[in-house]
């Protein structure tokens, strides 16, 4: 599949990212941006957005970015490592994730994702993942 031709705004229809409300804003060379509404269904019992919700947004954007930026003959990927640092919280509005490619090799890609509160631009989380490139 040529992922450069994919409409990523509908790519996740029927899958987990759609279920939690991930909206794709842009996927292009070395960059992927998405957003998600902060809603009670995604909260932890302490009344704040659940860490897993934030990771879902960040990991989805890094994954879509990886697909768009696959090397020649690469067919897919699998995440082999991810790490998040949570440095803020959100209780309302939207969060936005900007994924930037820092290493795009033949066997791996490394993406950094900054997740911010869309309304005040405060950082919620810093996320890094390494993806193994798959070949058929």
Task: Identify the CA nearest to 112 among candidates 75, 74, 61, 76.
Answer: 61
d(CA 107, CA 83): 19
Helix (H, G, I), strand (E, B) or coil at 47: coil
> What integer pLDDT is reported at residue 1 of this predicted model?
86
d(CA 98, CA 87): 16
Fold of 3-134: Thiol Ester Dehydrase; Chain A (3.10.129)
- What residue spans define the domains of the chain? 3-134
| pTM of the shown model | 0.96
The strand pair at 31-37 and 123-134 is best described as: unpaired
Mean pLDDT by 10 residues, the chain (136 residues): 94 95 98 98 94 97 98 97 96 97 98 97 98 96
């Amino acid at each position: 599949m040529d992922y450069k031709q994919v409409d990523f705004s509908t790519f996740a229809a029927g899958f987990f990212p759609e279920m939690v409300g991930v909206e794709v804003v842009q996927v292009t060379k070395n960059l992927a941006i998405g957003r998600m509404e902060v809603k009670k269904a995604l909260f932890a019992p302490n009344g704040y957005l659940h860490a897993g919700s934030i990771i879902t947004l960040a990991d989805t954007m890094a994954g879509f970015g990886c697909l768009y930026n696959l090397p020649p003959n690469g067919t897919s990927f699998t995440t082999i490592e991810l790490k998040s640092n949570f440095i803020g919280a959100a209780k309302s509005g939207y969060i936005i994730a900007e994924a930037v490619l820092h290493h795009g090799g033949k066997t791996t890609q490394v993406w950094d994702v900054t997740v911010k509160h869309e309304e005040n631009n405060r950082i919620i989380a810093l996320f890094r993942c390494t993806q193994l490139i798959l070949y058929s």
